[in-house]
Amino acid sequence: MTPVLIKLLAKELRELLPGSRLSHISQSSNEVVELSFYHPDRAHQNLTIALLTLKPLIFASPEKRAALAKPPNFCRSLRKQLEYAQLTAVEAEPGERLIRFSLKTPEGQYQLIFEGIPKYPNLILVGPDNLIISALRYKNEVERPVLPQAPYDPPPKPTEKPSLWDMEESSLKKLWEAAGRPALGPWLKTEFRGTDPELSSYLESFGESAFSEWGHTQREIVEGHLNHFTLTPGPPPALYIFPHPLGDKPGEIFLSPSRALEALFRLEAHYREISAVKTKLESEITRAIKHEKRILDKLKKDRTEAERSDQYQWWGELVMAQLHKIKLHLKEITLEDVVRGGPDPVVIPLDPEIPPLQNAQRFFKKAQKGSRGLVLVENREKEIKDRLEQLKSAQRSLPALREAPEIRKAFLELFPKKKEAAPKPKKAKEEKVPTPNILRTKLGKQFELCVGTSAAANDYVTFQLAQPEDLWFHVRDLPGAHVVLRRLQRDAPVTDELILQAAKEAASHSKAGAGEKVTVSYTEKKNVKKIPGAPPGMVTMTKEKSLMVEA
């Protein structure tokens, strides 16, 4: 936004908005604020303020944009302070890039200040006490901080430069002549505030009549008679206030600054979308080219290694033919060329960590791998070179891509989406079988007696709880419990007393009558096997021992 455009827009907004009430506040993005104004005698107006990087814009329009689902903090601050406030004034100082909106509320007069400075655009809410309440962009690392509860100060002006808008025709001409009659456009641009490249170039085109033309132009701007705005689509899109040679870029003519700025906003959004998509594609192409070049470098090393297959074969045959001459732990050996009959001896590098025979085998293996790999390397090199040519061709054609759909199409052609792998079938969850009820008795710190109380418990004690070296007990020829003398510490010694205690436990948990003498068989658990197809608890054993105890 140039000072000229700010002045023309402010005059139009003064005709459209004062006396209206602020009926709705929203943000269509993090950098675009929408203010809806209602007046019973005028058309509904939506004021859009877009703090686009390097191109801040502001305009009035009957169109309302979709709001963000969750309003940002700045939007909530505006709603809290300004809901249903009445707009009383729209002000813009000549030559400045600021527009002040005065809003009356029951709590006092607030100001909403649009700062259309390309490098640091901002929208600041200032309270009746001239303290900053909120800002769309907080800044504390620049020469003019913008922070809550700080007094509002306008952007600093270079005091050493006078404002072009304060200069009369005669004074301006005298300064120019005193400066040695330099090129008028650059001189106006560098020596005065309130200028911009378009205004400077326009005045320069009048030569020495520029000073009188500036007086005429300034009056037209202040009175709002400049109403011819030309918008070129670009890219990038541009808006011209003064007559401009368009060349091969046809422009659309607008008679209202708001209509022209609204169209510029749409074009700018479209242009930024295309730029973002194109930048992403360019970045991906650059990254892919670097990746393919790295692969090509590795393939060159593989080719070098593969081309040495004949040499490795030769070295392997020489080592095998003169194996008896080679001592252990040599880093290299010089051998007579008995394979090819060459006149000169051959120096062969060896791996000192392996014997001569393994060195020969290593050479044969490399030779075999190299002969196979050379074909693979050549095919892969061709694929990579074709891919590089495709990427470089796409890189050269990037400037010709104008629309987002064709850029996305080019992206998919270069980087097709990978097919998603079919989801692996989920394993059926195994039903947890509850642990059978067993009897467990600790025998000091080194052993434990485990006794099954049912067929399932017997199976659990024997085949899940017992370790291979644990002793397993059962009464011979009678139904009864499986009993395991389980070690709690590795290599704990098994005594005769422990064996007897375990045998008595097996006898007492059998079908034998009280006081009846029974034979208890025992062996290491590794000698106990299940009977295929038999019910749980039915087993066979080998290497058994036995003793007679009383039940």
Write down the pLDDT at residue 110: 96
Write down the pLDDT at residue 245: 59
Share of the chain above pLDDT 90, in %: 45
Write down the pLDDT at residue 244: 64
pLDDT, one tens digit per residue, over 2-51 is: 999 999 999 999 999 999 999 999 999 999 999 999 998 888 999 999 99
Whether cis (ω within 30° of 0) applies to the bond prior to 343 is no
Average pLDDT over residues 383-390: 91
Phi, psi of 327 (to 5 degrees): -90, 165
Q: Are strands 86-91 and 57-61 parallel, antiparallel or unpaired?
A: unpaired
User: Does 131 lie in the same domain as 26?
Assistant: yes
Per-chain mean pLDDT for the chain: 88
- CATH, residue 33: 2.30.310.10
pLDDT, one tens digit per residue, over 185-227 is: 899 988 898 899 999 999 998 888 888 888 888 888 887 778 8
Phi, psi of 461 (to 5 degrees): -60, -40
User: Does 465 lie in the same domain as 389?
Assistant: no
- Helices of type H across 157-248: 169-178, 184-191, 197-204, 210-223
pLDDT, one tens digit per residue, over 431-441 is: 666 778 889 99
Write down the pLDDT at residue 13: 94
User: Does 410 lie in the same domain as 490?
Assistant: no
On the question of pLDDT at 333 being above 60, the answer is yes
User: Does 409 lie in the same domain as 370?
Assistant: yes
- Tell me, yes or no, whether 15 lies in a domain: yes
Q: What residues contact residue 427 under an 8 Å CB cut-off, 6+ apart?
A: none
User: Does 511 lie in the same domain as 403?
Assistant: no
Write down the pLDDT at residue 433: 66
- Tell me, yes or no, whether 247 lies in a domain: no
On the question of pLDDT at 246 being above 60, the answer is no
Are the beta carbons of 194 and 164 closer than 8 angstroms?
yes
Average pLDDT over residues 470-485: 92
Edge-to-edge strand ranges of the sheet holding 252-254: 238-240, 229-232, 252-254
User: Does 473 lie in the same domain as 370?
Assistant: no
Phi, psi of 457 (to 5 degrees): -65, -40
- Tell me, yes or no, whether 312 lies in a domain: yes
- Tell me, yes or no, whether 200 lies in a domain: no
Domain that holds residue 48: 3-135
On the question of pLDDT at 142 being above 70, the answer is no
Write down the pLDDT at residue 339: 87
- Tell me, yes or no, whether 57 lies in a domain: yes
Average pLDDT over residues 471-485: 92
Phi, psi of 450 (to 5 degrees): -115, 125
User: Does 11 lie in the same domain as 118?
Assistant: yes
pLDDT, one tens digit per residue, over 50-108 is: 998 888 999 999 888 888 989 999 999 999 999 899 999 999 988 899 999 999 999 99
User: Does 44 lie in the same domain as 9?
Assistant: yes
Write down the pLDDT at residue 169: 86
Phi, psi of 60 (to 5 degrees): -105, 145
> Mean pLDDT lowest for which of 153-162, 175-184, 341-350?
153-162
Are the beta carbons of 344 and 325 closer than 8 angstroms?
no
Average pLDDT over residues 399-413: 84
Last residue of a domain, one of 109, 135, 161: 135
* Paired residues of 343 in beta bridges: none
- Tell me, yes or no, whether 103 lies in a domain: yes
Write down the pLDDT at residue 283: 92
Helices 257-306 + 404-414 axis angle, to 10: 10
Write down the pLDDT at residue 249: 60
Write down the pLDDT at residue 301: 81
- String of b and e for 237-268 (b: at least 16 CB within 10 Å)? bbbbbbebeeeeeebeebebbbbbbbbbbebb
User: Does 459 lie in the same domain as 409?
Assistant: no
User: Does 496 lie in the same domain as 377?
Assistant: no
The number of domains in the chain is 3
Residue 100 token pair: 């002040």
- Tell me, yes or no, whether 63 lies in a domain: yes
Are the beta carbons of 506 and 483 closer than 8 angstroms?
yes
- Tell me, yes or no, whether 146 lies in a domain: no
Last residue of a domain, one of 92, 109, 135: 135
- String of b and e for 63-96 (b: at least 16 CB within 10 Å)? eeeebeeeeeebbebbeebbeebbbeebebbbbb
User: Does 446 lie in the same domain as 334?
Assistant: no
Q: What is the pTM of this model?
A: 0.61
Write down the pLDDT at residue 247: 53
Phi, psi of 193 (to 5 degrees): -85, 160
Last residue of a domain, one of 81, 105, 135: 135
Cβ-based neighbour number of residue 172 at 10 Å? 21
User: Does 8 lie in the same domain as 126?
Assistant: yes
